[in-house]
Chains A and B, each alone.
Chain A
Amino acid sequence: MECAGCTLIAFGVPFSMFVFTIAHHPFRIIIAMTSAFFWLISLLLSSLLWFAVVPLRNQLAFAVPFTVLFQEIFRYLFYRLIKKAEFALQKAQMQELTAKGMVFDRFAVAYASGYGFGLISGTFAIVNVLSDMTGPGTIGIFGHSPDFFIATAFLALCIILLNTFWGVIFYTSLDKDGIHRFIGPAIVVFTHMLFSCMTLLNRKSTPTYSISIVIGYVLLVGMVIYTLILRGFNINNIRQRLN
C-alpha cells in the first residue's frame, strides 16, 4: 500500500499533465520521448565520469555538480536539435502541415521537452525505491527516518515539475534576444545546482527532509512565476485570460 501511495504522489500530477497537455498531440509525445533520451545520454556521460574518477567514487558531492552540468548541456544540445527541425519543417510545405494541424508551437515544444526531461529524471530517481517498497517491510529497522519514502516521492515530483518549467524558461529565453539569452539559462543552471546540492543534505542518517522539500517547492513557485513573466503575463493579462 505504501508503494501505491508513493507512486501516486510522485507520478499523479505528471500523469494528469500528460493526459491533458501531451496525450492528444503526437508531436509533443515525440519531443518528450526524444528529450528523455537526451537526458539518458547525459546520465551515461555523468556515470562514465563518476566511474573514471576512481578515488572519488564515494564522494557524491563531487559527482553531483558535474551531473547537473551535463544535464544542462544536453538540454542546450536538444534545443539546437529542435532549431534544426524547425528550420527543416519551415523549408517543407508549411501550409499542408498547418492544414493537418501540425503547427510548430514553440512554447508547447519547450514544455514537452522539459516534461520529457523531468519525467525520465524523476523515474530514475524513484523507481528503484518503489520496487524496494513492494516487499512486506518498511524502512527504519536500522534507525533511518520513516519518512524516507514520502520524502523521496515528493522530491521526485518536485524534480519532474521543476524540469518542466526549466525547459520552458531555457528555451523561451534562448529564443529571445539580448540579455535574456544569458539570464534564463543562468537561472536554470543556478537553481538546478542549488536544488541538487540541497538534497545532498539528506545523506545524514536522520535528515530533516523538510529543508530540501520546502526549498524545492519554493524554487518551483519561483520558476512558475518567472515562466509567466517571460511569457509576458502581468496581472491584467491574467484577469483577461481567465474571463
Chain B
Amino acid sequence: MRLLFLLASFYLQNVFVFCSQPKRVVDQMYVSFDHARYCVRRLNGTHEIGCQSAIRGNSGRMFMIDNDKEFNSYLNDNKTMNSFDAFIIVLNVNLFDSNHIDRLMKRLDTKLNGLLLYLKSKSARPLDFSPDDQCPNHRNSFYLNQTTETINWNRRGTGLFFRSFPFPIMLIEEEDDYQRLLKFYQQFSNGQSTPACGLELKTFQSAAHTTKTCMRRNDISHSLIDFQETFCDPIGGLNIYSKLPQSITIVPDQRPLKSVILILASTDSFQMFLETKRPTGGSQQPATALITFLALAHLIGQEQDELTKQNKEIIFVTLDGDAMDYSASYKFMFDMNNGNFPSGNKNERPIETKHIHSIIEFQSLSMNSELWLHSYPSKLIDQNFIDSLIKNNRKINQIPTGTPLPPASSQIFLQQTSSSFPAYILASINQNQILNRYYHSFFDDPSTLSINISTLEYNTTTQVSQWIKQIVEPFAQTLIESLVGVNKTVHIKQEIINNLVYCILKNMNCPLIHNVTNQSVGNTFQPFDQTSMPFSINTYPTSITPTFPFIQYVLGYFLRDRSFDLQNLPEKSCKERAYKDNFCSYTFVDGYLPSMNSNNTLSSGYCVRSYLRSVQSISPAFIIPNYDLSKTEYPTWTESRWTTISLRLFLIPTRTHEIVTLIIGMMLTSISFFFLCFLRYYTKVSLLQPSSS
C-alpha cells in the first residue's frame, strides 16, 4: 500500500518542481544495464547491414552460453527449446564468430530474438576480434576488376559487421554488469516451474532496405506535417588539409608540374558495437598514424625555412570516411577532378592530377619492431627516396612493388588518376597480413599499445611516443633530403608527441588544444573533458564531434608561418587581417610552448597565420544531382537514425500465473454481470431498475 499511496501522490507532485523522486513499481521489476554497446543499421546502394529490433524492443527468455561445451549441449537440448517461444542468447564474446552464429541462427530460426554478448573481465578479452571482412573494403578497391589473386589482409576477420541480422545484438563489457547478470541468471533459472529470467533489447533503427529507398523516404514530406522525418544520414565528415602558408599559387601564376606532395592519414574507423559515451577504439588504426602524421607536420613546420627555398609544396590531408569503402578519398578525387582542390578561394590556382608529385600515406601503425613500405606503380616510384628512407630507419622494410597494395586510401587516388603518380604507404602491414589483431573493433584501445590509460599524464613519455619519435624524425629527414638536397638531422621534442598521445588517446580537453585556439573555441572542448578522440563513423550533417576542430587547429598551428610569429600583432589587428586576407586564417592564441622558439618572450598571446581548408567528405554519390544510388560507381553508405537504446532484465511470469489471473478476472466480471442481471429482471430492487432516475 505504501507504493500505492506514493503513486497516487505522484500524480499531483508533477505540478511541483522540487519533488523528490518517488519510487515506482517499474523500478522494482526491471534491472537496467545502461552501459551496453549496441549494433546499428547501415545501408548501402544494394544491401542493409547491421542489426535491428522491433519498435518496442525484442524480449525473450534468457539463456547463457559460456563456452563451446555449453553451446553444443544447448543446441541439442530439444526440451528447453520447445518450452519457450523466444530466446535471448547471452553469449561469451569469445564465441562471436560466423561458425557459432550461423549454427545458432539455423537451429533457433525465428525463436532467436536477440543476442547479448558479454566480456567476463578486462583480462578475458579474446586474442583477436575483428568483425570486418577478411579483405577489407573489397567492394571499391583498386583491384576490383583485375585478376590478381586476392590477399586476405585481415585473416582474423569474421565479416559479421557486414551481415544483416533480423534481431538486435548488444554487448556488455563492464565486469560488474556481467556479475549482476550472472547473479540473477543463477538465482532464477532452476527448473521449469519457477519464473525464468528474461531480457529485453531495444535498438530500433529507422532506416531499412537500401540507401536509395531510405534517401527517397527522407524527402517525403507529408503535406499536413511541416517537418520531414529523417531516417538515415550519409556517412562523411570533414577532409582537412593544410600546408605551409608561404607557398600559395595565385591566379594567373602557373603551378609547376609535379610539385605537390600529399601526405595522407585517416581520422575514422568503425566498430560493430558502439556506445556514444564510451571509448570507440581505433588506437592502432587510425590514432597512431594520426599522431605520427601530426608530429611529421610539426617537423615540417619546424624546418620550413629550408623547405620554402625550393618549389615543391607538401600538403597534409586528413580523410574522414575511408573506413567504409573509401568515401572520403572518392570525394577528394572528385573535387580534384572538378577543379575544386584546394577549395574556398577562386583566386587560388587549382591542383590537378598533373601537378601531383607523389602521395605518402600512414596507415595502420601498430607498435611493432618492424614497419613496411608499400609502393606503386613500379615505373614511377623513386627508388632513391625509398633507399634513403630505409637507410635512415632500419626498421622499415620495402615490400616489392609487384604485390597488391593493402587496404589504404592511396588505392582510390591511384584508381581515379590511372596511377599517374607514385604512392608510398608506411604501415604495420607485411606482405599479406595486417598485424593489428583488433582491426576495426572497439577492443583496439590504448592497452594494445602498452599504455596504462589510467596513469597516463599530459607529459608522460610512453613506449609508443618514443616509438613514434623514432619513426617520424628519420622520415622527415628523408623528405627534406630528397626535396632540398640538404642532409640535416631534425629533432622533435618528445614533449610534443607525449602531449599528442595524451590528448588523442585520453583527454581531448587538454592544455595543448587550449594553447593553440582562442578562448571561445577552447571552451567548445569543455563538454569533452576526459573523453578520448572518437574514431567512429561520422555522418552528415556533422554531429558535434571534437575531432575536426582539434585537427584543424593543431594542424594549422604546427604548419603556421613562423616568421609571422615575431610580428607580435595585437588581437584587434589580428582580427582585421582575418577579414582582409582570403587565403590564410589568423587566430589569436596563447601559444604552445614546446613549439615556440626559446627566444620568444611573448606573454599574452600572439597572432598565428596558417593555411587551412576543410571540405565535406561525403561520397560524391550524394552530391551529383540525379545520381542513381543503386549504382556501384561511388560508395553510398548511410547510417540509420535511432532514438532510445535500452537493455533490461526482468522475470518472465509463468504461464500458469498469467492464466490464473486472467481466469479469475474473467470469472469475477462475468459472475457479477450475470448476478446483477438476474437481480434486475427477477427482483424488484429499485436501484437496479432502468426506469427511475
* Chain B residues with CB below 8 A from A153, complex form: 665
Closest partner residue, chain B, to A130 (CB atom): B25
Binary interface encoding of chain B residues 658-676 relative to chain A, with 1 for a CB under 8 A from any of its CBs, else 0:
1111111110111011011
B59 at the interface (CB under 8 A from A): yes
User: Is A124 a contact partner of B661 (Cβ separation < 8 A)?
Assistant: no
B487 at the interface (CB under 8 A from A): no
Considering only residues 618-667 of chain B, those with a C-beta below 8 Å from chain A are 648-653, 657-666
B491 at the interface (CB under 8 A from A): no
User: Is B662 a contact partner of A17 (Cβ separation < 8 A)?
Assistant: no
Considering only residues 190-223 of chain A, those with a C-beta below 8 Å from chain B are 196, 199-200, 202-203, 212
Considering only residues 121-150 of chain A, those with a C-beta below 8 Å from chain B are 124-126, 128-129, 132, 135-142, 144, 146, 148-150
Cα of A43 to Cα of B679 in the assembled complex, Å:
35
Question: Nearest Cβ in chain B — how far from A135, in angstroms?
Answer: 7
User: Is A146 a contact partner of B195 (Cβ separation < 8 A)?
Assistant: yes
Determine chain B's interface SS by DSSP, over half rule: helix
| A25-33, A78-86, A177-185: which lies at the interface | A25-33
Considering only residues 512-564 of chain B, those with a C-beta below 8 Å from chain A are none
User: Is B658 a contact partner of A2 (Cβ separation < 8 A)?
Assistant: yes
Cα of A140 to Cα of B29 in the assembled complex, Å:
7
Question: Nearest Cβ in chain B — how far from A19, in angstroms?
Answer: 7
User: Is A136 a contact partner of B1 (Cβ separation < 8 A)?
Assistant: no
Q: With contacts A101-B691, A132-B24, A137-B30 known, is A146 near B657, CB below 8 A?
A: yes
User: Is A12 a contact partner of B665 (Cβ separation < 8 A)?
Assistant: yes
* Chain A residues with CB below 8 A from B1, complex form: 60, 155, 196, 199-200, 202-203, 212
Determine chain A's interface SS by DSSP, over half rule: helix
Closest partner residue, chain B, to A108 (CB atom): B687
Binary interface encoding of chain B residues 377-415 relative to chain A, with 1 for a CB under 8 A from any of its CBs, else 0:
000000000000000000000000000000000000000
Q: With contacts A47-B9, A108-B687 known, is A141 near B31, CB below 8 A?
A: yes
Closest partner residue, chain B, to A112 (CB atom): B687
User: Is A149 a contact partner of B29 (Cβ separation < 8 A)?
Assistant: no
* Chain B residues with CB below 8 A from A148, complex form: 25
Cα of A213 to Cα of B618 in the assembled complex, Å:
66
Q: In the complex, which of the residues B29, B686, B693 contacts A101, with contact meaning CB atoms closer than 8 Å? A: B693
Cα of A132 to Cα of B28 in the assembled complex, Å:
10
A96 at the interface (CB under 8 A from B): no
Cα of A128 to Cα of B23 in the assembled complex, Å:
12
B309 at the interface (CB under 8 A from A): no
Question: Nearest Cβ in chain B — how far from A154, in angstroms?
Answer: 9
Most A C-beta atoms less than 10 A away, residue of B648, B668, B680, B685: B668
Most A C-beta atoms less than 10 A away, residue of B184, B195, B197, B662: B662
User: Is B5 a contact partner of A241 (Cβ separation < 8 A)?
Assistant: no
User: Is A102 a contact partner of B693 (Cβ separation < 8 A)?
Assistant: yes
A1 at the interface (CB under 8 A from B): yes
User: Is A8 a contact partner of B9 (Cβ separation < 8 A)?
Assistant: no
User: Is A241 a contact partner of B29 (Cβ separation < 8 A)?
Assistant: no
B257 at the interface (CB under 8 A from A): no
User: Is A20 a contact partner of B649 (Cβ separation < 8 A)?
Assistant: no
* Chain B residues with CB below 8 A from A105, complex form: 686, 692-693
Cα of A177 to Cα of B59 in the assembled complex, Å:
63
Cα of A43 to Cα of B188 in the assembled complex, Å:
40
- The interface size of chain B toward A, counting residues with CB under 8 Å, comes to 67
Cα of A90 to Cα of B106 in the assembled complex, Å:
80
A103 at the interface (CB under 8 A from B): yes
Binary interface encoding of chain B residues 182-210 relative to chain A, with 1 for a CB under 8 A from any of its CBs, else 0:
00100010000001011010000000000
A152 at the interface (CB under 8 A from B): yes
Cα of A16 to Cα of B674 in the assembled complex, Å:
9
Q: In the complex, which of the residues A26, A28, A137 contacts B29, with contact meaning CB atoms closer than 8 Å? A: A137
User: Is B665 a contact partner of A67 (Cβ separation < 8 A)?
Assistant: no
A242 at the interface (CB under 8 A from B): yes
Cα of A69 to Cα of B662 in the assembled complex, Å:
35
B10 at the interface (CB under 8 A from A): yes
Cα of A21 to Cα of B653 in the assembled complex, Å:
37
B4 at the interface (CB under 8 A from A): yes
Closest partner residue, chain B, to A57 (CB atom): B20
A174 at the interface (CB under 8 A from B): no
* Chain B residues with CB below 8 A from A107, complex form: 686-687
User: Is B661 a contact partner of A132 (Cβ separation < 8 A)?
Assistant: no
Pick the 8 closest A-B CB pairs, nearest first: A137-B650, A8-B665, A12-B669, A5-B661, A199-B1, A5-B662, A138-B653, A136-B59
24 contacts between A and B (CB under 8 A): A1-B658, A1-B661, A7-B665, A19-B676, A25-B692, A28-B693, A44-B12, A46-B9, A47-B8, A67-B5, A103-B693, A104-B693, A111-B687, A124-B7, A137-B652, A138-B195, A141-B184, A141-B651, A144-B28, A149-B661, A196-B1, A203-B1, A241-B685, A242-B683
Question: A residues engaging B (CB < 8 A)?
Answer: 1-2, 4-9, 12-13, 15-17, 19-21, 24-28, 43-44, 46-47, 50-51, 57, 60, 63-64, 67, 101-105, 107-108, 111, 124-126, 128-129, 132, 135-142, 144, 146, 148-150, 152-153, 155, 157, 196, 199-200, 202-203, 212, 241-242
Known: A21-B676, A132-B26, A212-B1. 18 other contacts (CB 8 A): A2-B657, A8-B666, A47-B13, A103-B692, A105-B692, A107-B686, A128-B24, A129-B3, A129-B25, A137-B650, A137-B653, A138-B653, A146-B195, A146-B657, A153-B665, A196-B1, A203-B1, A203-B2
